[in-house]
């Protein structure tokens, strides 16, 4: 008979159960994108928005939000890719993965994308980043986060992680397996955890799935490569017991992660409920929420020391590859000429990219992608989509290529920016010839495409979701109801 949920909690936490149930509210954190701005600039901007921030000593781009008047994702600078909202413990797996520019890296369970964008930033936006997730509805927020961070070297797959070996070869320098878990590291998620536990016919099924995903990562990793396994759970069944299966059966060794200033990282368990694990599991790390201002987490860093045994060895799939194109390919050159006509961006600016072209869209990728394995959902980032006879640039590429855009631009002052954020529309002095003028605003530069409504009026629907800086609101213009619903 399955134990009650209370008995399950007691078995997981033991003498620490009261500490887990009674600890205070968890802190809120963001991670700064150094390829867009500096941590000093974000501190200044958020201070103007009314936030109070504090740096995290051991994680260079992390800021703790001590005071938060509303969700930081509603600031215009978040849309411009200056930072990502992400818990502190969630930043540790990639911190320990230590991605490098030019490498082949895969995130097996990538959505909604916080860790994927963290990997991309650490890679310097150079190399081949594979981002996979099974849940189709989570692919949209994953792509949106990659776009907001200006990532063009990621290819997205929508597959069960344990089946990726059918299409991908063992070429990866680093693998992140941040696997689905019970979430038993966040006391606020206990009602959901209880419901999931009581519905489950076999509570141990989660650890079986986690092991299969981890085994996939082991098969995709090259010898000498690094794999990080992580969960936001403190249940040893999902953590040490899974790692024990790998180190006891496969040619992998656990690495000792570095200490992180300001965080109390506990060693992994070497025994639990009568089970004894390999002594090396002490090199795993546990983040306990009652000792840290963040949710509970488990992280293990593994290195592949030899090829797998023949029955587990990966057999290279007969994958079809799609060749990417350079700027001189006729179909690419024609599109870039159109973009130059309407935006003034010289085609040579795109020389570092490779391209994939469809009848209605063109995507650009990092130059490391000379080909892409079939079966992907999205490759790189969208450069432009065809609208009538115009190739309309995406918001992401407008921001990224802002310094090279010389036509079709409308610059707004503070009062105008406040009005468009409050109403979604604004009157301007003049309109360019294109029906999709580029909205520009200092200090963010080129922000997004807008719609020409005629009579010198433009519309940017998405602006309606964002706050302006205090002091930029003009007389008679108040935040709309959407803001009031989102205010905290």
Known catalytic residues are: 232
Q: How many CA atoms lie within 13 A of 487 on its CB side?
A: 10
Please give the torsion angle defined by the CA atoms of residues 180, 186, 191 and 194, in that order, rounded to the nearest 10 degrees: 50
Cα 227–chain centre separation: 18
Residue appearing with tokens 């500490």: 19
Among all chains, which residue has been given the structure tokens 């080129």? Answer: 446
Residue entry with tokens 């995290």: 56
Question: H/E element holding 387?
Answer: strand 381-387
Cβ neighbours of 191 (radius 10 Å)? 8
Residue 267: CB atoms within 10 Å? 12
CA distance readout (Å), 152 to 117, 137, 147, 353, 373: 11, 21, 8, 9, 16
163 φ, ψ to 5°?
A: -110, 5
Q: Print burial letters for 351-382: b (CB count within 10 Å at least 16), e (below 16).
A: eebbbbbeeeebbbbbebbeebbebbbbbbbb
Local structure of residue 406 (DSSP, 8 states): -
Nearest to 59 by CA among 400, 297, 227, 366: 297
Peptide bond into 443 cis (omega under 30): yes
The tokens describing 418, both together, are 């406040």
200 SS3 class: coil
Q: What are residue 77's phi and psi, to 5 degrees?
A: -70, -25
Q: What is the dihedral angle through the alpha carbons of 190, 192, 193, 198, rounded to the nearest 10 degrees?
A: 120
Q: Count each helix (H run) and each strand (E run) in the chain, helices first.
A: 14, 28
Alpha-carbon span 69 to 53, nearest angstrom:
12
CA 33: distance to chain centroid?
Answer: 11
How far apart CA 434 and CA 430 sit, in angstroms, is 12
DSSP 317: P
């Amino acid at each position: 008979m399955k134990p009650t949920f209370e008995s399950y909690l007691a078995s997981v936490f033991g003498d620490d159960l009261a500490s887990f149930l009674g600890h205070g509210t968890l802190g809120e954190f963001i991670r700064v994108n150094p390829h867009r701005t500096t941590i000093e600039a974000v501190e200044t901007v958020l201070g103007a928005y009314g936030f109070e921030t504090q740096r995290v000593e051991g994680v260079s781009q992390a800021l703790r939000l001590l005071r938060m008047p509303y969700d930081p994702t509603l600031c215009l600078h978040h849309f411009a890719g200056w930072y990502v909202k992400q818990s502190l413990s969630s930043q540790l797996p990639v911190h320990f993965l230590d991605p490098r520019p030019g490498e082949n890296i895969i995130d097996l369970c990538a959505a909604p994308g916080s860790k994927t964008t963290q990997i991309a930033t650490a890679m310097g936006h150079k190399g081949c980043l594979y981002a996979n997730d099974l849940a189709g509805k989570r692919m949209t927020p994953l792509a949106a986060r990659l776009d907001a961070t200006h990532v063009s070297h990621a290819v997205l797959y929508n597959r069960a992680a344990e089946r990726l070996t059918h299409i991908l070869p063992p070429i990866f320098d680093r693998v992140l397996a941040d696997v689905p878990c019970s979430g038993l590291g966040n006391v606020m998620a206990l009602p959901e955890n209880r419901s999931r536990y009581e519905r489950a016919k076999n509570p141990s099924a989660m650890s079986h799935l986690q092991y299969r995903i981890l085994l996939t990562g082991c098969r995709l990793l090259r010898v000498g490569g690094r794999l990080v396994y992580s969960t936001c759970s403190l249940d040893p069944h999902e953590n040490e017991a899974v790692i024990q299966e790998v180190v006891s059966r496969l040619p992998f060794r656990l690495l000792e992660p570095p200490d992180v200033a300001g965080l109390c990282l506990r060693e992994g368990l070497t025994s639990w409920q009568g089970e004894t694990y390999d002594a090396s599991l002490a090199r795993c790390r546990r983040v306990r929420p009652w000792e840290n201002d963040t949710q509970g987490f488990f992280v293990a860093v593994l290195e592949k020391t030899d090829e797998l045994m023949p029955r587990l060895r990966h057999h290279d799939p007969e994958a079809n590859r799609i060749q990417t194109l350079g700027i001189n390919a006729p179909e690419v050159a024609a599109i870039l000429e159109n973009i130059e006509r309407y935006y003034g961006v010289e085609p040579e600016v795109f020389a570092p990219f490779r391209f994939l072209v469809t009848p209605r869209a063109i995507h650009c990728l990092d130059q490391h992608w000379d080909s892409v394995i079939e079966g992907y959902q999205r490759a790189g980032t969208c450069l432009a989509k065809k609208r009538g006879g115009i190739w309309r640039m995406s918001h992401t590429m407008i921001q990224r290529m802002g310094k090279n855009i010389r036509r079709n631009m409308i610059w707004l002052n503070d009062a105008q920016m406040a009005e468009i954020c409050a109403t979604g529309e604004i009157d301007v002095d003049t309109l360019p010839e294109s029906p999709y003028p580029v909205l520009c605003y200092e200090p963010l530069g080129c922000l997004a495409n807008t719609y020409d409504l005629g009579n010198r009026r433009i519309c940017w629907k998405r602006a309606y979701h964002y706050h302006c800086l205090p002091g930029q609101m003009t007389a008679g213009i108040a935040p709309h109801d959407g803001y009031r619903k989102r205010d905290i």
